[in-house]
Structure 1
Amino acid sequence: MNPAVSPRVTPTTAALLQWWFDPPCTQARAGLGFHDEQRREILRTIAAHEALDGDAPPRERPVHRVALSTGIDQIRVLLALLVWQLLNHRDALAAGLDDPRFTSHFIAVAHHARARDRLFATFSGQPVPGSHGARDFGTAGLVRLAELLIPGHRRDEVYGFVCAHVCSGAQFVRQPVSDGVIAISDGRLEALECLARLPRVMVFDDESHPPHWARGIGGVTSPAWRQHLRRIASSRDELCAQVVFSQGAHREAAEPSWL
């Protein structure tokens, strides 16, 4: 087992960490892997989150910050953390447990239209020409990275969930799904409404790319909006996990954040 794997993590997490980082697995993928910074942030976030007491007071629940250098894409970290949450949640339920640290409800806050398009392409694939909104799941970033992210015997399970539960924040607000969701939201009120309608949730937010309205609309600034989101999250009885991506040191070959 990878020496970075803590004996305190769940068996599901231990299996994922072996798949992602153990040399026999990484060597078999012939170069498809995580950057050292991605690996560091995944391990740090998982270690901090699995150490949480799900019944702890909200003020003791941290915001998980993921700091990556410019040019290190965030999407592999987001997908790894989503797969880790989803499979742990499903395995806990299969064992008759309700582990408050894990969920099948996710909100990805993307303030820019291009960023939302990239997220939809990551989860649902590229638009099919002339199909009025249909997408080709075979072209999804998740499928392209599946050999890295998901052990082979669990891919169909993850694919089935993603295909059935990805939606826009506006779609979710109109018709919420109770057994899970991946809501891609534009931020502001839409994200807050999604959060208000979900029991236990993990929110992904990209702080390194502020929204166009960052200087404020009607007196609401980007930092103020995020603080409001976090106040709502911390007031919940259910554990609400927040993963905030921020920019680390500069790297020369910059890439867009959400893939």
Structure 2
Amino acid sequence: MSNNILPSSTVTTDALLRWWFGPRERQRRSDPGFLERQRLAILNTIGAHEAPNAAAPRPAQRVHRVGLTCGTDQICVTLALLIWQLLNQRDAKAARTDDGRFTSHFLLVAPHPCVRSRLFDALAGRASAGGYGERHFDNSDLVRLAPTLIPQDRREEVFDFMRRHTGTGTRAMRQAQGDGVVAVTDGRLEALECLARLSPDAMVFDDETRAPYCARGEGPLTGQAWRHHLRRVAMSRNGCGVQVVFTADAPDTGAPSAPATSPYPG
């Protein structure tokens, strides 16, 4: 009998869920852990993606709509979901298995400069004053939140990947190595170009809680049209690409999800 917390979840996912939410693991750590809304967002996304109703066929592409507004909540959930995908992909590769549910290619769409800067703070570290834009990875949210996000024996693995693969849109594409990329895009055309050049199995993060950035002479409808176009391009990929869309309200999509009462107390 499987000891996995979610039905059909992988051993890697189960280890992460226990680290994040298990009572014994949390008692051993001094970090504050996840907020309840973050916990449910993570459980619902992983449950819908990895352990759907066995009676229903899995669609080739999946869109996960997460009801969280912009800010720290999104950053923490984004990092957790990125780590979940990355470690599952690496473990599947090490076991010489082909599990199309997981990827090491990530695209984070951030047209607003302030949001883009915040994402780089989270992934690559904050820039020091007078440092000519140089970022220090040790100051990143990923490192700061590592006790909450990453089991001790996997931290250096995740840190090494993020140091080598995080970059701005098309530059990240040019420098991308075969084992993965984390691209933060800074505009509409760049986002589309990055998506076209990325693996068809890439994971895309987008934030609907902010209106799209509109260049001079463009109206909000034009900006919304770009976002819809990005969504269509993402959905047209032949692989098993994953999309995480942050929304202002928790959506009712009818998709299978993790139960509101999880195996772990809040």
TM over 0.5: yes
TM-score, normalised with respect to structure 1: 0.86
- The 5 Å alignment of 1:89-238 reads 89-199=89-199, 200-213=201-214, 217=218, 221-238=222-239
3-state DSSP class of the match of 1:96? coil
- Gaps (5+ residues) in structure 1? 250-259
Q: Is the 8 A contact 2:173 2:198 kept in 1?
A: no
Relative to structure 1, the CA distance from residue 96 to residue 70 in structure 2 (aligned partners, 3 Å threshold; closer, same or farther) is: closer
1:179, CA displacement in angstroms?
1.9
Number of residue pairs matched? 244
1:228, CA displacement in angstroms?
1.2
1:176, CA displacement in angstroms?
3.9
- Gaps (5+ residues) in structure 2? 251-266
Q: Is the 8 A contact 1:173 1:193 kept in 2?
A: no
The separation in 2 between residues aligned to 1:237 and 1:51, in whole angstroms, is 22
1:62, CA displacement in angstroms?
3.1
TM-score, normalised with respect to structure 2: 0.83
Percent sequence identity over aligned pairs = 54
Relative to structure 1, the CA distance from residue 88 to residue 132 in structure 2 (aligned partners, 3 Å threshold; closer, same or farther) is: same
Which residue does the alignment assign to 1:248?
Answer: 249
Which residue does the alignment assign to 2:12?
Answer: 12
The separation in 2 between residues aligned to 1:116 and 1:219, in whole angstroms, is 20
The separation in 1 between residues aligned to 2:71 and 2:131, in whole angstroms, is 34
1:99, CA displacement in angstroms?
0.8
1:159, CA displacement in angstroms?
0.2
List per-residue Cα deviations over 1:140-184 (Å, max 9, x = no partner). Answer: 110000000000000000000000000000312444433211101
1:234, CA displacement in angstroms?
1.7
Relative to structure 1, the CA distance from residue 189 to residue 238 in structure 2 (aligned partners, 3 Å threshold; closer, same or farther) is: same
Which residue does the alignment assign to 1:253?
Answer: none
What amino acid is the match of 1:226?
A: R
The separation in 1 between residues aligned to 2:33 and 2:120, in whole angstroms, is 22
